[in-house]
């Protein structure tokens, strides 16, 4: 990433932008985008709350429900761990600022075997948002390299966080349209997944689902974290526990003409206590390993029983601050959650 965007190697995400002048300038530049965002939310937000219990889930989640994030920099041990867990769906990040290593990403993705289905998460940076020629060049390369064995691409990551590069939902929608055009011309059978809003910030989700841009998601994605509330059963805004957040998300998808009814939750976890600086949040939000395993099981159960979520990708396999495996001091230690995840998949296949 290029300044003022700086990558935090411990938590695998960008640091908050420290250049306040740049941040203010960019927000002012995109301030016009808040007008349609506000207008559409005044209509859709209350409507979706009123209707969310009327849309019943119909999806058969007995197959292919579990997905897991893997990381090119976490080592070859991941192939062995994935086989032990028995998970068949994997999510791999492909950062656009790391294009010089794309052949390594391809080799890494293939290393898990032909029986795995890979979802490639194309992660934006400011250079590829602003430079459409560079974007087209690198997206074509990604499609050329991965499409022989990959059929799904998540377009963007945490698009409502400025530290990830976007300064408005309209900017993301224009960016998605550019990639969709490349897809249509080069490999029309590939599925594009979005919009990848993080947390319960559905006013941004609504804008990406209700707009006049010439685009459509083949599958809708959400990074639906609930970790700051503690238990998945705890509420936000009075009524929104994890179940009702899923209910509202599903209602929005059913009401929108911009997507199919299929939903992936492509990122969720809880931060682990006593793991700073690897934990992505403050110690206040962190939980002990036994609670992490408990909350993980509860979250998957809620999502599965709703019959409204096609797949949940846990983030991620190896990460000292939030993963199923701790690799500090160059040692591989499987946490309690690793074995809980393994049991979930085994029970699902019985």
Of 216, 236, 232, nearest in space to 265 by CA? 232
Pairing mode, strands 7-8 and 13-14: antiparallel
Residue entry with tokens 């290593």: 101
Q: Where are the beta strands (DSSP E) in 132-235?
A: 152-155, 191-198, 219-223
User: What whole-number distance in Å separates Cα of residue 194 and Cα of residue 176?
Assistant: 8
Q: Above 70 in pLDDT, residue 63?
A: no
On whether the CB atoms of residues 129 and 29 are closer than 8 A, the answer is no
| pTM of this prediction exceeds 0.95 | yes
| pLDDT for the residue 156 | 98
User: What whole-number distance in Å separates Cα of residue 350 and Cα of residue 344?
Assistant: 10
Q: 316 preceded by cis ω (within 30°)?
A: yes
Q: What is the average pLDDT value for the chain, to the nearest integer? A: 96
Q: Which fold has domain 19-54+64-349?
A: TIM Barrel (3.20.20)
pLDDT grade for 347, boundaries at 50, 70 and 90: confident
pLDDT grade for 61, boundaries at 50, 70 and 90: low
Average pLDDT over residues 164-190: 98
* Collapsed DSSP state (helix, strand, coil) of residue 262: coil
Which tokens is 308 given? 């409204």
| pLDDT for the residue 75 | 95
Q: Above 90 in pLDDT, residue 172?
A: yes
CA separation, residue 238 to residues 59, 89, 123, 198, 232 (Å): 28, 34, 34, 20, 14
Q: What is the pLDDT of residues 17-60, one digit of tens each?
A: 999 999 999 999 999 999 999 999 999 999 999 999 999 998 77
* Collapsed DSSP state (helix, strand, coil) of residue 209: helix
Q: What is the pLDDT of residues 94-150, one digit of tens each?
A: 999 999 999 999 999 999 999 999 999 999 999 999 999 999 999 999 999 999 999
Q: Where are the beta strands (DSSP E) in 89-190?
A: 89-95, 117-123, 152-155
Of 195, 224, 196, nearest in space to 312 by CA? 224
Average pLDDT over residues 55-83: 91
> What is the residue-wise DSSP string for 30-83?
TGGGHHHHHHHHHHHHHHHHHHTTTS------SSS-EEEEE-GGG-THHHHHHH
Average pLDDT over residues 168-192: 98
User: What whole-number distance in Å separates Cα of residue 81 and Cα of residue 324?
Assistant: 10
Phi then psi dihedrals of residue 327, to 5 deg: -115, 25
pLDDT grade for 349, boundaries at 50, 70 and 90: low
User: What whole-number distance in Å separates Cα of residue 202 and Cα of residue 55?
Assistant: 17
Q: What is the pLDDT of residues 210-246, one digit of tens each?
A: 999 999 999 999 999 999 999 999 999 999 999 999 9
CA separation, residue 24 to residues 18, 31, 167, 193, 213 (Å): 11, 10, 10, 30, 26
pLDDT grade for 339, boundaries at 50, 70 and 90: very high
Quote the DSSP letter at residue 271: P
**Domain ranges within the chain, ordered by starting residue:** 19-54+64-349
Contacts of 178 (CB under 8 A, 6+ apart): 132, 135, 136, 139
Rg over alpha carbons for the chain, rounded to the nearest Å, is: 19
What is the Cα 1 distance to its own chain's centre?
19
């Amino acid at each position: 990433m290029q300044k003022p965007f700086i990558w935090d190697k411990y938590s695998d995400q960008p640091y908050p932008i420290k250049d306040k002048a740049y941040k203010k300038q960019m927000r002012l530049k995109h301030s016009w985008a808040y007008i349609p965002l506000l207008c559409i939310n005044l209509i859709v937000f209350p409507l979706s709350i009123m209707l969310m219990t009327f849309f019943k889930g119909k999806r058969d989640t007995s197959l292919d429900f579990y997905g897991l994030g893997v990381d090119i920099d976490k080592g070859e041990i991941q192939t062995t761990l994935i086989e032990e867990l028995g998970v068949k769906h994997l999510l791999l990040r492909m950062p656009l600022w790391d294009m010089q290593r794309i052949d390594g990403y391809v080799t890494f993705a293939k290393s898990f075997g032909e029986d795995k289905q890979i979802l490639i998460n194309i992660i934006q940076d400011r250079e590829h948002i602003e430079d459409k020629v560079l974007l087209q060049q690198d997206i074509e390369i990604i499609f050329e390299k991965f499409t022989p064995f990959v059929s799904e691409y998540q377009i963007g990551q945490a698009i409502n966080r400025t530290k990830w590069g976007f300064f408005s939902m309209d900017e993301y929608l224009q960016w998605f349209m550019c990639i969709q055009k490349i897809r249509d011309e080069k490999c029309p059978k590939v599925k594009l997944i979005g919009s990848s809003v993080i947390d319960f910030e559905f006013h941004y989700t609504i804008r990406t689902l209700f707009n006049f841009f010439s685009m459509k998601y083949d599958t809708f994605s959400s990074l639906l974290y609930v970790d700051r509330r503690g238990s998945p059963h705890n509420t936000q805004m009075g009524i929104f526990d994890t179940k009702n957040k899923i209910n509202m998300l599903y209602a929005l998808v059913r009401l929108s003409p911009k997507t199919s009814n299929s939903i992936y939750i492509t990122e969720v976890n809880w931060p682990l206590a006593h793991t700073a600086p690897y934990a992505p949040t403050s110690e206040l939000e962190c939980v002990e390993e036994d609670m992490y395993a408990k909350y993980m099981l509860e979250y998957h159960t809620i999502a599965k029983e709703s019959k409204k979520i096609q797949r949940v990708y846990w983030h991620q396999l190896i990460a000292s601050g939030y993963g199923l495996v701790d690799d500090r001091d160059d040692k591989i230690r499987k946490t309690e959650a690793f074995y809980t995840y393994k049991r979930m998949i085994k029970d699902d296949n019985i």
